[in-house]
């Protein structure tokens, strides 16, 4: 076991997104990993637990890892915690650029040498590309006059406002071709917001009121604002300068009655080359034609880099190429993994790039072909491989990873992200959006599973000696109907979509199930009386306490399905706190006692004719999957990143 202390530099600390990203990173290591704040440890593989620690920026924390890759794990996580930009963009997760600096760009293949036509930049998005260059170098915009007559001011203000309204229109309705993903839309919306920001628009309006020509003022304000972002120490903030320049360029061109080179006109495979490309411009490009992207400006946190990662377009940014070199580029090799660009490659360099592209295609295809597959074992048993999600923003990731539905939607985050309890309407909207996103595939939503170890605004938890054995999950919910019933009503409303299932955590007594069912009936009657559309859902339970295992036969008669929560089941069967690194060697799902508990649960389910899923971390364990399937588990729920490999494993059984 090793420990390292570090100061957290993540901006605003480990709030939702950084915590989720850190947990995903931690899950990539075999070792058990804990983050300790002020003596309180949390499992670093659980975003919820990390968030609940409440780690703030500038605080010192301890990282503890135990296992075969403990050193790598700590090195990576310390690096993450020390990165102020961590968590700022989801894109950082999509394909973390291995080399962030130009000097890391070296030849690492024996048959390849760095040549004169090879330039190093920042690795923005992984992969290799070889294609003709499409050079995008719009002429600098120049306003023909600076000052207007006082009498012209009202008309000029009007002209600016109309142009702005027109400019912000397209993203409201039709999103450009390139902007296919949710994330693209979010980025474009951010740019639209920026174009309407008081800081920006207000300054332009004041400039026009001071007798400035609208185009001249727009160019000036955009430049000043971009410069002030550029001067900031933080990489992420510097990258926003590019957004401002992009918005300004388009707005000013419209005001000048000029058109910029039309990126929509790209009609064949190309490497897009630009000095300065904004996300706005990138979104205009028919992305299917873009094989690679090279920018002389920009960084790994640029919005274009994030969009390139989302679309799997290899990208290198910040490449030190002059305008003349850009214009002379006919063909380019982009090595987005190592941050390298080869301008006008010779035959040997082209062949080398083609070999790399073929190897990348093969590696992708090897897992990719499982994306839409409903995996079956060789003897024909179909296994559902579904996603564990903590929020709606993870939906695109899960869908891209081939999730066949959702096996566990943790509703805790919905409650923890806020200063007050979410309302029934707010919850209904979230659950409905989740259900619609996966329809007709099932989504299993877990009712609130939170305990006194970590408070939630709006619920008073007592101080407890042993919070894991205390007032948590369904125990708290049943005692607090004013918290629980709005959630149940929201679930009943979302169930009209047709694919919602609900499961109850921490069941240890038959009576708890019956009381939940009675509350569901009560909520349903209330909705009927109020004339609110709703539908019944299948009700299941999480099997995560020894008590549930030992009464699995009786419980199976009461519910539609079981989902085995091996994270908690392991801790309760082994009497081993899942967050206590000192006793981590006992915390093993593959321990015969835990495996026996899983087998007993499956036997009881089979006898009662209900299905069993498994949604703890162990569901993604490629060594354990064969044993779970053998026992009768028919659904495996895991983080999206593990889905393709798990599907492949099932087909090998």
Asked if the bond preceding 591 is cis, omega within 30° of 0, the reply is no
Nearest to 7 by CA among 80, 89, 66: 80
Q: Which does 6 bind (CB under 5 to 8 A by kind): ligand PEP, Mg ion, none?
A: none
Within residues 568-587, the interface with ligand PEP by CB under 6 A covers 568
Taking the complex as a whole, the smallest distance from the CB of residue 529 to ligand PEP amounts, in Å, to: 34
- Does residue 534 touch ligand PEP according to CB under 6 A? no
C-alpha to C-alpha distance for 569 and 563, rounded to whole angstroms: 11
**291 versus 410: smaller Cβ distance to ligand PEP:** 410
410 scored as a contact of ligand PEP (CB under 6 A)? yes
> Cβ closer to ligand PEP: 160 or 484?
484
Hey, which residues between 430 and 449 contact ligand PEP (CB under 6 A)?
449
State how far the Cα of 341 lies from the Cα of 287, in Å rounded to an integer: 20
> Tokens 């904004």 correspond to what residue?
278
Q: Closest separation between CB of residue 615 and Mg ion, Å?
A: 8
- 540 near Mg ion (CB under 5 A): no
Q: How far is the CB of 408 from ligand PEP (least distance, A)?
A: 6
The entry of Mg ion, ligand PEP, none near residue 615 (CB within 5 to 8 angstroms by kind) is ligand PEP
The yes or no reply on residue 565 touching ligand PEP (CB under 6 A) is yes
In terms of C-beta density within 10 A (0-12 exposed, 13-18 middle, 19 or more buried), how is residue 100 classed? middle
Task: Find, among 583, 584, 589, the residue nearest to 569 by Cα.
Answer: 589
Options 187-195, 276-284, 326-334, 540-548: segment touching Mg ion (CB under 5 A):
540-548
SS3 call for 479: helix
615 contacts ligand PEP (rule: CB under 6 A):
yes
Please say whether the beta carbons of 383 and 377 come within 8 A. yes
Which residue shows structure tokens 């360099």?
A: 349
Q: Which stretch binds ligand PEP (CB under 6 A): 213-221, 514-522, 566-574, 639-647?
A: 566-574
Of 178 and 616, CB closest to ligand PEP: 616
CB 601 within 8 A of CB 543: yes
Q: Is 615 a catalytic residue?
A: yes
Minimum CB–partner distance for residue 505 and ligand PEP (Å):
7
List the one residue out of 386, 383, 382 whose CA is nearest residue 403: 386
* Binding of ligand PEP by 567 (CB under 6 A): yes
- Choice between 20 and 326, CB closer to ligand PEP: 20
Q: Is 90 in the site for Mg ion (CB under 5 A)?
A: no
- Distance in angstroms (rounded) separating the CA atoms of residues 29 and 32: 8
Of the candidate spans 83-91, 221-229, 330-338, 538-546, the one that interacts with Mg ion by CB under 5 A turns out to be 538-546
User: Which one from 270, 477, 523, 615 is the annotated catalytic residue?
Assistant: 615
- CA–CA separation, 236 and 229 (whole Å): 9
How far apart (Å, rounded) are the C-alpha atoms in residues 401 and 261? 36
Nearer to ligand PEP, 408 or 497 (CB): 408
**Is 303 an annotated catalytic residue?**
yes
Q: Judged by CB under 6 A, does residue 473 bind ligand PEP? A: no
Name the segment binding ligand PEP (CB under 6 A); options: 106-114, 226-234, 273-281, 565-573.
Answer: 565-573
Task: Tell me the three state secondary structure of residue 212.
Answer: strand
Q: How many residues bind ligand PEP (CB under 6 A)?
A: 11
Smallest separation, CB 471 to ligand PEP (Å): 15
CB atoms within 10 A of CB 377: 15
**Nearest approach, Cβ of residue 501 and ligand PEP (Å):** 15
- Least separation in angstroms between residue 571's CB and Mg ion is 9
Under rule CB under 6 A, residue 298 binds ligand PEP? no
- Based on its alpha-carbon atoms, the radius of gyration of the chain, rounded to whole angstroms, reads 28
Minimum CB–partner distance for residue 615 and ligand PEP (Å):
5
Question: Which residues ranging from 551 to 570 are in contact with Mg ion (CB under 5 A)?
Answer: 565, 568
> Out of 616, 624, 625, 647, which residue is the one contacting ligand PEP (CB under 6 A)?
616
Q: Does 297 help bind ligand PEP (rule: CB under 6 A)?
A: no
CA distance 634 to 383: 5
Could you say whether residue 642 binds ligand PEP (CB under 6 A)?
A: no
Beta bridge partners of 446: 410, 503
CB of 135 to ligand PEP, least distance (A): 51
Query: Closer CB to Mg ion, residue 343 or residue 552?
Result: 552
Under the binding rule (CB under 5 A), the answer on residue 617 touching Mg ion is no
Residue whose CB is less far from ligand PEP, 337 or 566? 566
> Tokens 């321990």 belong to which residue?
591
Comparing CB distances to ligand PEP, the nearer of 21 and 284 is: 21
CA distance 152 to 158: 10
Cβ contacts of residue 103 below 8 Å, gap of 6+? Answer: 120
Cβ neighbours of residue 570 under 8 Å, at least 6 residues apart? 576, 578, 587, 588, 589, 591, 594, 616, 618
DSSP designation for 612: E
Q: Smallest distance, Å, CB 104 to Mg ion?
A: 41
Nearer to ligand PEP, 217 or 408 (CB): 408
Q: What is the DSSP string of 111-171?
A: T----TTEEE-EEEE-SEEEEEEEEE-PPPP--S-SB--GGGHHHHHHHHHHHHHHHHHHH
The residue annotated as part of the active site, out of 15, 34, 303, 352, is: 303
Give residues 13-72 in contact with ligand PEP (rule: CB under 6 A).
Answer: 46
Q: What are the b/e assignments for 637-647, b being 16+ CB within 10 Å?
A: bbbbbbbbebb
- The option from Mg ion, ligand PEP, none interacting with 616 (CB < 5 to 8 A, set by class) reads ligand PEP
Q: Residue 7 is inside which H or E element, if any?
A: strand 2-7
50 within 8 A of 14, measured Cβ to Cβ: yes
Known catalytic residues are 303, 615
For ligand PEP, the binding residues (CB under 6 A) are 46, 408, 410, 449, 544, 565-568, 615-616
């Amino acid at each position: 076991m090793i420990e390292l202390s570090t100061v957290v530099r993540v901006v605003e600390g480990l709030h939702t997104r950084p915590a989720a990203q850190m947990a995903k990173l931690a899950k990539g290591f075999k070792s058990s990993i804990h983050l300790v704040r002020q003596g309180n440890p949390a499992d670093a593989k659980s975003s919820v637990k990390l968030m609940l620690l409440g780690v703030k920026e500038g605080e010192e924390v301890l990282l503890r890892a135990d296992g075969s890759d403990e050193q790598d794990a700590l090195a990576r996580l310390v690096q993450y915690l020390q990165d102020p930009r961590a968590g700022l963009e989801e894109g950082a997760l999509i394909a973390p650029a291995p080399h962030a600096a130009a000097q890391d760009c070296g030849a690492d293949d024996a048959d390849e040498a760095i040549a004169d036509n090879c330039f190093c930049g920042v690795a923005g998005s992984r992969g290799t590309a070889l294609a003709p260059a499409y050079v995008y170098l719009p002429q600098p915009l120049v306003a023909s006059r600076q000052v207007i007559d006082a009498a012209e001011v009202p008309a000029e203000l009007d002209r600016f406002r109309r142009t702005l309204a027109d400019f912000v229109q397209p993203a409201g309705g039709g999103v450009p071709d390139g902007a296919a993903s949710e994330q693209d839309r979010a980025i474009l919306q951010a740019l639209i917001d920026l174009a309407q920001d008081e800081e920006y628009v207000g300054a332009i309006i004041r400039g026009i009121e001071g007798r400035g020509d609208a185009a001249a003022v727009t160019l000036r304000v955009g430049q000043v604002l971009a410069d002030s972002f550029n001067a900031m120490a933080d990489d992420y903030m510097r990258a926003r300068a590019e957004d401002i320049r992009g918005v300004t360029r388009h707005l000013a061109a419209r005001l000048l009655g000029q058109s910029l080179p039309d990126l929509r006109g790209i009609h064949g495979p190309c490497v897009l080359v630009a000095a300065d490309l904004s996300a706005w411009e990138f979104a205009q490009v028919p992305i299917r034609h873009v094989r690679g992207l090279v920018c002389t400006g920009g960084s790994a946190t640029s919005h274009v880099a994030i969009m390139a990662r989302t679309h799997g377009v290899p990208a290198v940014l910040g490449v030190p190429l002059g305008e003349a070199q850009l214009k002379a580029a006919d063909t380019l090799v982009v090595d987005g993994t190592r941050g390298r660009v080869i301008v006008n490659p010779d035959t040997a360099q082209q062949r080398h790039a083609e070999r790399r592209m073929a190897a990348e295609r093969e590696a992708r295809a090897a897992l990719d072909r499982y994306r839409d597959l409903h995996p079956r074992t060789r003897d024909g048993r179909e296994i559902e491989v579904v996603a564990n999600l903590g929020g709606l923003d993870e939906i695109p990731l899960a869908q891209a990873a081939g999730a066949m539905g959702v096996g566990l939607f943790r509703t805790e985050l919905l409650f923890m992200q806020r200063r007050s309890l979410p309302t029934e309407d707010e919850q209904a909207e979230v659950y409905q959006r989740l259900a619609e996103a996966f329809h007709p595939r099932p989504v299993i939503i877990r009712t609130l599973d939170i305990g006194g170890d970590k408070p939630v605004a709006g619920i008073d938890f007592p101080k407890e000696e042993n919070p894991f054995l205390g007032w948590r999950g369904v125990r708290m919910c049943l005692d607090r109907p004013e918290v629980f019933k709005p959630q149940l009503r929201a679930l009943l409303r979302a169930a009209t979509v047709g694919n919602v299932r609900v499961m109850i955590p921490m069941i240890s007594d038959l009576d708890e199930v019956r009381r939940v069912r009675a509350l569901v009936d009560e909520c349903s009657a209330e909705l009927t009386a109020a004339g609110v559309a709703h539908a019944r859902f299948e009700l299941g339970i999480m099997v995560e306490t020894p008590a549930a295992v030992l009464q699995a036969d009786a419980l199976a008669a009461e519910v539609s399905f079981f989902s085995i929560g091996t994270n908690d089941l392991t801790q309760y069967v082994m009497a081993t706190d899942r967050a206590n690194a000192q006793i981590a060697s006992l915390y093993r799902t593959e321990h015969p006692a835990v495996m026996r508990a899983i087998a007993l649960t499956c036997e009881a389910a089979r006898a009662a004719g209900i299905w069993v899923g498994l949604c703890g971390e162990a569901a993604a364990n490629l060594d354990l999957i064969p044993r779970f399937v053998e026992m009768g588990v028919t659904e495996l729920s895991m983080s999206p990143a593990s889905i393709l490999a798990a599907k492949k494993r099932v087909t090998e059984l």
